[in-house]
Chain A
């Protein structure tokens, strides 16, 4: 289980997160939606300490940490329990697909090479890339790269995997393969926090949808509720923009 309380983050004079709470139970898939600039990426980056939040606390498993005061050791403990899938994949360019997946295990966690390789080959197989183990990122399509990105996160067996718009950099015809891998991951009851505007994914897979705007959580609930019967005007406005054809008043 992961719980975040009252997280604040400011860039200069720009208040980006103004006290967000987030609680995700084990095996839950939480989808975060919201307009561009609402702080979704910043929230995920703060959870993974790629960005240092100004205030708030986080609990993951048995670790409880105040963002601001977290020591290097605590940061590393939190990072070990979270994994990130990036919008631009961010695969290590100097390593093969297999190398990418093994790196965290071998270098950060000191898992013996043989064992790490077995685990890594298994997860690459899981994302349908068993035959691409020796390919470098530059030899893979965007969809394949993102599946390696997911495999890299899976291999670490974290408490939660954070996805930041994992399909938004992809050509439309490649979105499907990545979404279906993500759905397969969700079915294994792996805890996921996913920033995405893929409504099909949210409706089919999400346990909960959170709508963020202006650095706060405006509304949250079951996907059908948020998408079909939103309570807040801001949510309606947002949905009107991304789902112009939906008539949610019925």
Chain B
């Protein structure tokens, strides 16, 4: 059984068709990760008592568990809870009716929050203490210092790492297939269920993932160039 080019193209088309699902998974997790992760990172760096502890515990907890397990745990508890609640309310909807893409997005978000909180914390710490002190000395509040002085310096530092996180999320989103959520990978695989040409399906999916990640990398280079203007000029 050789490599069936025409089926490969069919699988490729299916993979591309479900690419928006993969992008949705990765980008929503990235967005949630940045918003919540930034909050956790700021809590740590500014030593906001309760939140800082919460942030530390959360990061340790999530980083120690494989993503697959987070996803499956979430899947089981969410579906069970949903069914219990629906039954109690005498509703006819059941967990099999909910779009599993939300479960996968949530699992990926939980994971990306922890990762992004850590990398943003590192980026925030890369900005020297003197920058805070100068800001306070000219009368800026803590919030103003964060948004006017610290973040504009920390964000360019974190950009290559955020790009890596996005690439990681695009790849990790493929585990959505363990809960039968139809994404890029699963789309290609479903096309192969009739003829068992999984090899072609996997190669097609790999190609699309690779293309996606390549373009992410390109975009991040462009963005980084623009955001680090003030450092670049020093070199030339």
Contacts and interface: CB of A to CB of B under 8 A. Distances in A.
Contacts of A48: 136-137
Contact of A79 (B128, B130, B137): B137
Interface string A21-62: 000000000000000000000000000111000000000000
Nearest to B151: A94
B53 interface: no
Contact of A94 (B130, B144, B152): B152
B96 interface: no
Given A79-B139, A103-B148, A107-B140, A92 B233 contact: no
A69 interface: no
A136 B149 contact: no
Contacts of A83: 137-138
- The size class of the interface chain B forms with chain A is 20 to 34
Nearest to B234: A138
B133 interface: yes
A90, A109, A138: residue with the most chain B Cβ atoms closer than 10 Å: A90
A107 B234 contact: no
Interface string A104-148: 100111000000000000000000000000001011000000000
Interface string B148-161: 11001100000000
A80 B139 CA distance: 6
B90 interface: no
A108 B137 contact: no
Contacts of B141: 76, 108
B3 interface: no
Contacts of A91: 134
A86 interface: yes
A109 B230 contact: no
Interface SS, B side: helix
Contacts of A195: none
A84 interface: yes
Contacts of B148: 103, 107
A80, A104, A156: residue with the most chain B Cβ atoms closer than 10 Å: A104
B23 interface: no
A86 B134 contact: yes
A108 B134 contact: no
A94 B126 CA distance: 14
Interface in B92-126: none
A76 B134 contact: no
Nearest to B155: A94
A119 to B, nearest CB: 13
Contact of B149 (A92, A152, A156): A92
B135 interface: yes
A88 interface: yes
Contacts of B137: 48, 50, 79, 82-84, 86
Interface string A63-91: 00000000000001001101110101011
Contacts of A50: 133, 136-137
Nearest to A79: B139
B131 interface: yes
A240 B198 CA distance: 86
B130 A108 contact: no
A56 B175 CA distance: 62
B231 interface: yes
Given A94-B152, A138-B231, A139-B234, A156 B131 contact: no
Interface in B179-236: 230-231, 233-234
B139 A108 contact: yes
Nearest to A87: B130
A103 B138 CA distance: 8
Interface of A: 48-50, 76, 79-80, 82-84, 86, 88, 90-95, 103-104, 107-109, 136, 138-139, 152, 156
Interface of B: 128, 130-131, 133-141, 144, 148-149, 152-153, 230-231, 233-234
Closest 9 CB pairs of A and B: A104-B138, A108-B139, A138-B234, A90-B130, A90-B134, A84-B137, A94-B152, A136-B230, A94-B153
